[in-house]
Amino acid sequence: MIRKLNLRITLPGLAVFVISFFILLQSLAARNAYEILLSSAALFFWATLFFAANWGARKLKEITAQLKPPFPLTAASKEEWLLSIHAAKIPRFFRLHFYLRGKFYPEGGATSGAFDGTNENFPVCRVRAETSFSRKETESGLEVVFPLGGIFHAKEFCRLKDIFGFFSINCGAEREQTLYVRNAPIVPRQLRIETRSGAEDRRNKNSADEERYYMREYTPGDRLRDINWKSSERIETLITRISPDNQDKVTRIEIYFRNYGPRKPEINELWLLDRAKARLAWFLRNVKEEKQSYVFHVISAGADWELETMDDIEAFLDELAALPFFPPQNENPPEDAAAKSDYFVFSTACDAGLNAFLLSMHPPSSLFITQNRPLNVNAKDGTDLLRMRDFFSGSVYPAFRWRKTKRAASLQSITDYAEIGL
pLDDT of residue 59: 78
Q: Pairing mode, if any, of strands 64-68 and 81-86?
A: antiparallel
d(CA 195, CA 248): 15
Provide the sign of the torsion angle of the four alpha carbons 316, 319, 320, 321, taken in this order.
Answer: positive
The pLDDT score that the predictor gives to residue 379 is 47
| DSSP output for 231-299 | HHHHHTS-EEE--TT--SPBEEEEEEE--B--SS--HHHHHHHHHHHHHHHHHHHHHHHH-TTEEEEEE
pLDDT of 248 over the 60 cut = no
In the CATH hierarchy, which fold is given to the domain comprising 1-182? Immunoglobulin-like (2.60.40)
User: Tell me, what's the pLDDT at 361?
Assistant: 76
pLDDT-derived band at 214, boundaries 50, 70, 90: low
* Entry pTM: 0.73
pLDDT of residue 315: 92
Least confident of 98-107, 206-215, 261-270: 206-215
Nearest CA-CA partner of 232 in 222, 241, 220: 241
Q: How confident is the model at residue 387 (pLDDT cuts 50, 70, 90)?
A: confident
Which sequence spans correspond to the domains of the chain? 1-182, 204-249, 250-420
**pLDDT beyond 50 at 409:** no
Question: Tens digits of per-residue pLDDT, 303-349?
Answer: 899 999 999 999 999 999 888 888 887 776 666 554 555 688 999 98
Q: What is the pLDDT of residue 124?
A: 85
